[in-house]
Amino acid sequence: MSDTQTTVEPVRMGRKATQPLLIVNDLVKTFGNGVKAVDGVSFTISPGETVGLVGESGCGKSTTAKLLLRTLDPDSGEVKFGGQDLLGMRGRALRRLRSRFQIVPQNPQTSLNPRLPVRSSIEFNLRAHGVPKPERVERIAEVLEQVGLPGAYGDRFPHELSGGQLQRAAIARAISTRPELVICDEAVSALDKSIQAQILNLLAEFQKELGMAYLFISHDLSVVEHISDQVLVMYLGRIVEDGTGSQLWNRPGHPYTEALLSAAPGAERERIVLVGDPPSPANPPSGCTFHTRCPIAIEACSTKRPLLKPTAGGSHAACIRTTDLQQP
């Protein structure tokens, strides 16, 4: 769905809109040191949909999130949120729009102010978005209950809460402005598996109740596959495959996706061990950036950048050798 040739699937959750909530088109970001962090990324998110973004460190997942939040400005590209051009906005208009998209960061220990009780951190967010005082108090009590924290926990400081409770507080802060899109940047990666399952269930429950859309960023393919309607696989700043979780799981169309699935510990697949480390994004390989580590690369792979094309498994993959992938 990120490719121009494909049509956008209409919405699942009960909103009237059939327009995508977020449209990202050919986003590019190169840092001053020559690192091409995001290199032509396009995708859409419909209201109430979860899009997973998976990849290894340095692939540009978090930079993509920062570009969408406008904490970084892209070199080129287009981002439309609810029909409005996000990149052209500044000042008050941007602030007003921001209440509609929120972030749950990776590490709640460092994202919640250690010197403020949790309640004040949530209130700060509400005040920034112009919610009047009486309503703020009400809203805080409501979101704390929604995330399953006893009301009294609002008066606690971050160091008095466990990792799972802190992540609940961070989620409470994010949903307090009633956003339409929540960006979860490795939101469950720091948590133990038993707590991770609690938080994943909570996120799924909110989506059902409040109809929020998620951009769920993680390096953990099993988590992304579990929570997402649509999964984007990123490698060196580019999306190399785009499909539903089960499409990727059952029949990956890109050799990198296949390697990623097989490398996950405990995966009951034939292990494909990639050679070496991912190349530096400051000096990415020519053509398909994966060709240096790809087990089925041919000469043509090093010359031409492949575009996302439909595959036999139903996904879209940027690979000219996709038909030669060994399939179960």
Partner 1 sequence: MTVEAQAELVIDAAGETSDAVLSVRDLTTTFTAGGQRIEALRGIDLDLYPGRVSVLLGESGSGKSVTARSILRLYGASAIIGGSAVFEGRDLVGLNEKEMQPIRGSGIALVPQDPTGSLDPVRRVGAQIVEVLRLHGVVDSKKEAQARAEELLGLVGLPDPVRAARSFPHEMSGGMKQRVAIAIAICCNPTLLIADEPTTALDVTVQAQILDLFVELTSSIGSAMLMITHDVGVAKDLADHVSVMYAGRIVEQGATSTVLDDPVHPYTKALLAAVPTPDVPRGNLIPIIGQPPVSGMTLPGCSFAPRCPVAQSSCTELVPELVSVELGHSVACPVATEFGAA
* Interface with partner 1 (CB under 8 A): 56-57, 162-165, 192-198, 200-201, 204-205, 208, 219-223, 225-227, 245-246, 249, 259-260, 262-267, 271, 273-274, 276-278
For residues 73 and 277, which CB has a smaller minimum distance to partner 1 in the complex? 277
SS3 292: coil
151-188: burial string, b at 16+ Cβ within 10 Å, e else: eebbebebeebebbbbbbbbbbbbbbbebbbbbbbbbb
Q: How far is the CB of 51 from partner 1 (least distance, A)?
A: 13
For residues 294 and 308, which CB has a smaller minimum distance to partner 1 in the complex? 294
For residues 12 and 178, which CB has a smaller minimum distance to partner 1 in the complex? 12
For residues 203 and 320, which CB has a smaller minimum distance to partner 1 in the complex? 203
For residues 277 and 299, which CB has a smaller minimum distance to partner 1 in the complex? 277
Q: Specify the amino acid at residue 8.
A: V
SS3 29: strand
CB 77 within 8 A of CB 27: yes
Closest CA to 64 of 46, 83, 77: 77
Torsion angle (degrees, nearest 10) of CA 171, 173, 178, 182: -50
Q: How far is the CB of 182 from partner 1 (least distance, A)?
A: 15
Closest CA to 47 of 229, 177, 173, 176: 229
Q: How far is the CB of 205 from partner 1 (least distance, A)?
A: 6
Q: How far is the CB of 183 from partner 1 (least distance, A)?
A: 18
How many whole angstroms separate alpha carbon 213 and alpha carbon 234? 20
Q: How far is the CB of 65 from partner 1 (least distance, A)?
A: 18
For residues 73 and 209, which CB has a smaller minimum distance to partner 1 in the complex? 209
Q: How far is the CB of 161 from partner 1 (least distance, A)?
A: 10
For residues 25 and 250, which CB has a smaller minimum distance to partner 1 in the complex? 250
The encoded tokens of residue 62 equal 């978090």
Beta bridge partners of 30: 36
Q: Specify the amino acid at residue 196.
A: Q
Q: How far is the CB of 200 from partner 1 (least distance, A)?
A: 6
CB atoms within 10 A of CB 201: 11
The encoded tokens of residue 176 equal 């307090």
